[in-house]
Amino acid sequence: MRAFQIDTYGEPPVLRDVPQPEPGPGELRLKVAACGLNFADLLMLKGQYQERPPLPFTLGMELAGTVEALGADVAGPAVGTRVAAMGGSGGLAEQACVPAARCVALPDAMSFPEAAAFQVAYGTSHVALHHRARLQPGETLLVLGAAGGVGLTAVEIGKLMGARVIACARGAEKLKVAEAAGADHLIDSSSEDLRDAVKALGGADVVYDPVGGGQFMSALRATRPEGRLLTIGFASGETPQIPANLLLVKNLTVIGFYWGGYMAFRPEVLTDSLAQLFAWYSEGKLHPHVSNTLPLDKTEDGLALLRERKSTGKVVITP
């Protein structure tokens, strides 16, 4: 089979032929139909992500496909079942072995590209907003990077949870995508002062930040007393240094959030969240946005779309 592999951190990955993987105990093998790209994949290429699989390894954190084979002691899902899986790696290949416990059967109406775009982006936003920030109906939610993979789902879920949503993104085209997802107010980060624009709208109760850098600092100064700021990631490449005196004066809370971390210490948080998200999808309340679908041999182009921030929603590879 073909697989998109990393041999050395910091060096270009390689598309090569490798042996078909065989599922071990507790695993199953999928015929991969789609793999969603994430900003974390860019960090994994450099060895800068929280998790570092042994080299060489196949890139691709979240995937969707059809069950082909079961490992020892695995009762299901049955061969032929359509599933999504959060494998952590291995998704950018024609076949992949993943823990059976991480597989979720797909609703009949959900396509493979939608499924590969669903778990990380929607899961991140739902657990962050519901479980960590405790977003309440009527509160104001500010979403930075609002047209990106996770930002767009935060707009959609925040609106579904009853918040007033302010979306911040770069350029009119990206803001149109955020508006279509339910944003009530739009801020163009390329031409408007974020702090002044948010304060003019009354400030924010919750800030959802996958960007970091200067945007975090501007949002911090536009957050209302007792506001909560979610640090989701640092797509800007800059980790902000938080002035503790501002937290004290305004009684603010900065909340660190890593969705994948819950797999190790509270997996039920993710299980419950995904159950709710798939229910909302089946009810027609969530609409995954895939801006680009590319074949396996164009994976480098897909990663470039993320790196250069030219995509909206998710980029999906279809082996």
pLDDT digits (tens, 9 = 90+) for 132-181: 999 999 999 999 999 999 999 999 999 999 999 999 999 999 999 999 99
Do 138 and 162 contact (CB within 8 A), yes or no? yes
- pLDDT range class, residue 228, cuts 50, 70, 90: very high
Domains in the chain (CATH in brackets) are 2-118+288-318 (3.90.180.10), 120-260 (3.40.50.720)
pLDDT digits (tens, 9 = 90+) for 82-103: 999 988 899 999 999 999 988 9
Q: How high is the mean pLDDT of the chain?
A: 94
Name the token pair of 87.
């494998």
Residue 94 backbone phi and psi in degrees, to 5: -80, -25
Residue 151, pLDDT score: 96
Rg of the chain, C-alpha, whole Å: 19
The residue ranking higher by pLDDT, 166 or 54, is 166
Residue 51, pLDDT score: 82
Whole-angstrom CA distances from 311 to 13, 275, 282, 289, 301 are: 21, 28, 26, 10, 11
Do 227 and 203 contact (CB within 8 A), yes or no? yes
Residue 180, pLDDT score: 96
Establish how many alpha carbons lie within 13 A of residue 68's alpha carbon, considering only the half-sphere containing its beta carbon. Answer: 16
Q: How far apart are CA 160 and CA 280, in angstroms?
A: 10
Q: What value does the mean pLDDT take over residues 54-67?
A: 94
Do 104 and 281 contact (CB within 8 A), yes or no? no
Residue 165, pLDDT score: 98
pLDDT digits (tens, 9 = 90+) for 4-37: 999 999 898 999 999 999 999 999 999 999 999 9
User: What are 209's strand-pairing partners?
Assistant: 231
Does 271 have pLDDT greater than 90?
no
Q: How far apart are CA 72 and CA 117, in angstroms?
A: 29
Do 149 and 313 contact (CB within 8 A), yes or no? yes
Name the token pair of 45.
């290429």
pLDDT digits (tens, 9 = 90+) for 102-127: 899 999 999 999 999 999 999 999 99
115 membership: H or E segment, kind and range? helix 112-116
Cα 264–chain centre separation:
18
User: Length of the chain, please?
Assistant: 319
Q: Which residue has the tokens 């950018």?
A: 92
Q: What value does the mean pLDDT take over residues 190-205?
A: 97
Q: How far apart are CA 143 and CA 154, in angstroms?
A: 7
